[in-house]
């Protein structure tokens, strides 16, 4: 029996090691698969010109990872809501449809008709500085950064609160009347608020954040569906050490190289 004890211990330890390895691998797998579950969105099956009315044969369903599906994308269940409605911009074959691509709201009737069930419209104070020099326009996609004072350290901090939020209106202008209002004008239209399409919980975050500090908006490409892996905080210490700036410089340099290659300027 004594001779078998080391063997039994070895077997038990081996089983424990195998279980630890199994659960570790399972945990890592779940981590990387999170958000990659497939959902469904409506896309156009042919090129659609601005002003053209959508028909059933123009629409098809496409699977898409849920992490890339934004609140403004139209889902298959809402097909009947948009059929027969004209679009306000050219849409290429295979592109997903957004609620703000659809010309279905008369401003005199209010904004409520373009708010998808479960979504909310919330207006946030805006200025030339916070709204990218008033270059933010209806239907644009933005990230929202909050500037606050840490209650514990009393330091100023900046952090990204929400990403890839769709702008419904800037001031009194929505997507359908913005072009008319700016036609022939050579100057930008200023506004004091921007209205955003968000979830109810996101509206709560923005309302409280606006009262606690200042909000700034960064403009992003509408095709950029990337999300930050981790929402960090920038403090004075972060700026003074320069550590994060160095990390970002490396990433930015890679982006510049990619742009150079795309433009055909690579030597």
Is the per-residue pLDDT at 246 higher than 50?
Answer: yes
Residue 9: phi and psi, rounded to 5, are: -60, -40
Q: Is the dihedral of CA 105, 109, 114, 120 positive or negative?
A: positive
Is the per-residue pLDDT at 128 higher than 90?
Answer: yes
Q: Which of 34-48, 56-70, 148-162 tops mean pLDDT?
A: 148-162
**pLDDT tens readout for residues 172-190:** 887 766 766 666 666 778 8
What count of Cα atoms within 13 Å lies in the side-chain half-sphere of residue 20?
6
What are the domain boundaries of the chain? Answer: 36-104, 117-234, 236-267
DSSP-assigned beta bridge partners for residue 157: 148
- Residue 2's pLDDT is what? 53
Higher-pLDDT residue of 118 and 145 is 145
- Residue 134's pLDDT is what? 92
Comparing 16-20, 139-143, 241-245, the range with the smallest average pLDDT is 241-245
Which stretches does DSSP call E strand in 113-181? 120-125, 141-149, 156-170, 173-174
Name the DSSP letter for residue 66: G
Is the CB of residue 128 less than 8 Å from the CB of residue 134? yes
Residue 214 pLDDT class (50, 70, 90 cuts): very high
Comparing 8-12, 76-80, 227-231, the range with the smallest average pLDDT is 8-12
Specify the pTM: 0.55
The whole-number average pLDDT for the span 18-45 is: 73
The CATH number of 36-104, from 3.20.20.70, 3.40.50.300, 3.10.50.30, 3.90.1210.10, is 3.90.1210.10
Is the per-residue pLDDT at 157 higher than 70?
Answer: yes
Is the per-residue pLDDT at 262 higher than 50?
Answer: no
Name the DSSP letter for residue 105: -
């Amino acid at each position: 029996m004594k001779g078998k004890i080391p063997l039994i211990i070895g077997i038990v330890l081996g089983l424990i090691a195998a279980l630890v390895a199994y659960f570790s691998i399972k945990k890592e797998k779940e981590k990387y698969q999170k958000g990659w579950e497939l959902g469904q969105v409506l896309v156009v099956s042919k090129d659609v010109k601005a002003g053209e009315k959508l028909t059933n044969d123009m629409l098809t369903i496409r699977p898409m990872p849920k992490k890339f599906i934004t609140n403004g994308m139209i889902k298959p269940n809402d097909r009947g809501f948009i059929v027969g409605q004209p679009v306000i911009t050219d849409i290429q074959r295979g592109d997903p449809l957004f609620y703000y691509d659809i010309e279905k709201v008369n401003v005199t009737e209010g904004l409520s008709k373009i708010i998808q069930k479960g979504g909310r419209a919330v207006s946030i104070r805006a200025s030339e500085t916070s709204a990218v020099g008033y270059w933010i326009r209806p239907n644009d996609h933005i990230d929202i950064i909050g500037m606050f004072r840490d209650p514990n350290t009393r330091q100023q901090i900046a952090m990204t609160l929400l990403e890839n939020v769709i702008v419904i209106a800037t001031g009194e202008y929505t997507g359908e009347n913005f072009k008319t209002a700016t036609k022939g004008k050579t100057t930008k239209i200023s506004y004091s608020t921007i209205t955003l399409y968000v979830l109810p919980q996101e509206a709560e975050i923005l309302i409280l954040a606006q009262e606690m500090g200042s909000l700034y908006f960064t403009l992003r490409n509408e095709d950029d569906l990337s999300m930050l892996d981790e929402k960090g905080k920038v403090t004075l210490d972060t700026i003074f050490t320069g550590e994060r700036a160095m990390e970002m410089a490396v990433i930015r340099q890679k982006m510049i190289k990619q742009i150079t290659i795309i433009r055909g300027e690579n030597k």
